[in-house]
Amino acid sequence: MSEEELRRKVSDLEIQLEHKENEINKYLDRIAHLEENVMQLESCIPDEDSKLTKKQWKKGKIAKLEIELEEKDRTIRDLKDRMGYLRKEKIDFQHKFEQATKKEEHPVIRIEEKKEPFEVLIKELQVKINRQQMTISKLQEELKKEGIEALKARVLELNKKLEEFLPSDASQKGESLSKGQVKKMQKKLRKSGKKIDILEKKMEIYKQKTKKRRDGESQLLVKDLKSTIVELKQKLEDRDEKINDLEKIISRFEKIEEATPENKTLESSKSPILNLTEDLQKKLNKSRMRIRALETELEEYKNLKNADKLQFQNAHLKESGKRSGPEIPHQNQQDDQKGITQEKDNLIASNEEQLILRMKELESFVEELKKENIQQRLEISKLREK
């Protein structure tokens, strides 16, 4: 035996050892899996004393089926792995054969040759899968039937117990009442559904109307706000003018008071409280002067109103005296006089309205000044008490 032959034998033996080790590992995995299955089945088996119940029997059956399914899955995986190895070997042999023969074959024929084993494999796998699905469906149907039968038996037992507890009349009444209540509830549901549809339609119509109204109301509000803003601005301008007039009058009175030499000598000797009282007294005097001036203005407006009324009465009397004398032949003069009298009446009415508004404003202003006057007096009295 030469060295080369020995080396070949050694390499062959090593390859065989590797194959054997792989087989041993596979068998060990198989043993572990079988041990797990045995443990599952042992857990399903009851003790010696206890009897098998339906639930335990179902659990055992399900566990058995799961184990069978796992085994079949493993066999399918092994077959797939073997098929993969066989495909590789086939491809290698094809390459070797092509290299040896060196003949050109049509690609369509080669594709068809490759397709045939795949199709056979697919068909075999489909057949196996269909068989497994059939067995699973049969087992599920059996389990369902058993469960349905058990439930039916349970329902019959409960019905018997109810019949024992309840009399026949009460059961009939209960059924009739339940049917009547169901019908009433169905009617109410239909009515409520119709009402909901009607209300939804009304809501849509109302929303459309409210959108239109809101648009119109918003425009009116904008116009009203603009008019109110203009009025308020005018009032503010009037108030500012009045304040400016009052400030001018106050400045005049202050200049007059500052001109007197007695005030300068007294200011140095007075305490801060006395200074405050004097300031308030000055403000009081100014407000009194303003009230008097406004009252005189009011009287003047009233006198003017009375004078306008007298003038109007005199003019009316004169016209009536003229009418009592000889009549004017021409009608055009009469029309002119009527137009003049109407214009006078309109002017007098407008003047009277303006005077009334002015009088009201002055009266309100006088009342405000009187209130301020009273507050200032109270402050002066408090300071004097201190």
Whether 57 has a pLDDT exceeding 70, the answer reads: yes
- 258: CB partners within 8 A, 6+ apart: none
Domain housing 166:
3-44+55-170
Cα 186 off chain centre by: 34
- Give yes or no for a contact between 370 and 291, defined as CB atoms under 8 angstroms apart: yes
pLDDT of residue 154: 75
Domain stop point among 170, 195, 214 = 170
- Give yes or no for a contact between 304 and 355, defined as CB atoms under 8 angstroms apart: yes
Could you tell me if 158 and 12 lie in one domain? yes
Could you tell me if 145 and 276 lie in one domain? no
- Domain presence at residue 187: no
- Domain presence at residue 246: no
pLDDT of residue 331: 46
Q: Is 327 helix (H, G, I), strand (E, B) or coil?
A: coil
Could you tell me if 151 and 14 lie in one domain? yes
- Domain presence at residue 301: yes
- Domain presence at residue 310: yes
Residue range 321-375, pLDDT digits in tens: 555 444 444 444 555 555 555 655 555 556 566 666 766 777 777 777 777 777 7
Domain stop point among 154, 170, 186 = 170
- Domain presence at residue 210: no
What is the number of domains present in the chain? 2
Q: Which of 7-16, 51-60, 148-157 has the lowest mean pLDDT?
A: 51-60
- Domain presence at residue 251: no
Residue range 224-267, pLDDT digits in tens: 666 766 776 676 677 667 776 766 776 676 666 565 544 444 44
Residue 166 is classified by DSSP as S
| The model's pTM | 0.22
